[in-house]
């Protein structure tokens, strides 16, 4: 069996990682992808460390059982909790995510950099290390409750606008050089968030993650050869009748 012909496993707590799937598929069109949204357990960010670890292990095992040649953790929160452990345990590429603070730190106009992410992502040591290196002007802004809007397919509503206004407080009136979308769900709120910061770049880590996937597959001779159109298989622990059509639509929003 040629391992390069095996699919890439990619997962998130829910629908947010579909934005990463879309980016990776665009970069690596010949690859087959298996996507798992753990929607029944979303959001991860309000769970305990051990609960998230347990879910990540289960989902990773599920994708490996189907022959995944690499794993993409399309979730900043799950990466912070579980990437190091998975890498230590598995002999295959494990690609994680982190808030795009490094590229954001290059946006220098005398203002702050707002880092939007789940409370859990911002509280864990991985983010502290990132802040240490690139965070001189960064302000971490925990965004409790935002993932739930995306899971409900509520990407543009008065309630969403009110919640964002509450989270942002008076930051939209202050000098901001960049806003980091440090949770893959927030990619789908780009328009709603941009309405508060109209002249500010909103940065995410999706392209960087897709490129890292390509690099690690190339290093191990695992890139699939040939001009073929790869397949995308979508799975969820949630209500498939609702979630799969939502994921299919979200694939095309990006
Ligand atoms: N998409 C996940 C992330 O990037 C959402 C986390 C959650 O489920 O709380 O952080």
Gap between the Cα atoms of 74 and 168, Å rounded: 25
Give the residue numbers annotated as catalytic, written as ranges.
75, 183
Q: Is the CB of 15 inside a 6 Å radius of any atom of ligand 1?
A: no
- CA 12 to ligand 1 centroid distance, Å: 7
User: Sign of torsion, CA 154 155 157 159?
Assistant: positive
pLDDT tens for each residue of 210-231: 999 999 999 999 999 888 999 9
Look at residues 25, 13, 17, 24 and name the one whose alpha carbon lies nearest to residue 51. Answer: 13
- Please check whether residue 101 is in contact with residue 134, taking contact to mean a CB–CB distance below 8 angstroms: yes
- Tell me if residue 39 falls in helix, strand or coil: helix
Determine the pLDDT at residue 227.
Answer: 87
Quickly tell me which residue has 């309000």 as its tokens.
46
- Look up the pTM and report it: 0.96
Q: Whose CA is nearest to atom 8 of ligand 1?
A: 43
DSSP state of 19: H
- Please check whether residue 94 is in contact with residue 86, taking contact to mean a CB–CB distance below 8 angstroms: yes
* Residues above pLDDT 70, as percent of the chain: 100
Q: Is the CB of 185 inside a 6 Å radius of any atom of ligand 1?
A: yes
Q: Is the CB of 77 inside a 6 Å radius of any atom of ligand 1?
A: yes
Average pLDDT of the residues in 34-39: 98
CB atoms within 10 A of CB 40: 13
- CA 110 to ligand 1 centroid distance, Å: 30
**Residue 55 pLDDT > 80, yes or no?**
yes
- CA 89 to ligand 1 centroid distance, Å: 23
For 91-113, give one letter per residue: b (16+ CB within 10 A) or e.
Answer: ebbbbbbbbbbbbbbebeeeebb
Gap between the Cα atoms of 7 and 207, Å rounded: 19
pLDDT tens for each residue of 149-207: 999 999 999 999 999 999 999 999 999 999 999 999 999 999 999 999 999 999 999 99
Q: Is the CB of 44 inside a 6 Å radius of any atom of ligand 1?
A: yes
């Amino acid at each position: 069996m040629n391992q390069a012909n095996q699919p890439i496993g990619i997962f998130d707590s829910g629908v947010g990682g579909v934005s990463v799937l879309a980016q990776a598929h665009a970069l690596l069109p010949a690859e087959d992808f298996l996507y798992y949204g753990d929607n029944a357990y979303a959001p991860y960010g309000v769970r305990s460390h051990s609960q998230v670890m347990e879910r990540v292990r289960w989902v990773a095992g599920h994708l490996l059982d189907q022959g995944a040649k690499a794993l993409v953790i399309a979730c900043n929160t799950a990466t912070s909790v579980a990437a190091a452990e998975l890498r230590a345990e598995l002999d295959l590429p494990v690609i994680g995510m982190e808030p795009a603070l490094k590229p954001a730190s290059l946006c220098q106009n005398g203002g702050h950099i707002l880092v939007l992410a789940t409370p859990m992502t911002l509280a864990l040591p991985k983010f502290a290390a990132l802040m240490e290196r690139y965070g001189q002007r960064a302000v971490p802004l925990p965004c409790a409750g935002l993932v739930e809007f995306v899971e409900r397919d509520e990407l543009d509503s008065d309630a969403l606008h009110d919640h964002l206004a509450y989270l942002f407080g008076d930051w939209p009136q202050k000098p901001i050089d960049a806003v980091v979308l440090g949770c893959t769900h927030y990619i789908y709120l780009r328009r709603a968030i941009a309405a508060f910061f109209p002249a500010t770049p909103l940065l995410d880590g999706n392209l960087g993650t897709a490129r890292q996937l390509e690099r690690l597959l190339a290093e191990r001779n695992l890139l699939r050869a040939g001009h073929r159109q790869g397949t995308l298989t979508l799975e969820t622990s949630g209500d498939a009748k609702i979630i799969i059509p939502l994921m299919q639509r979200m694939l095309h929003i990006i």
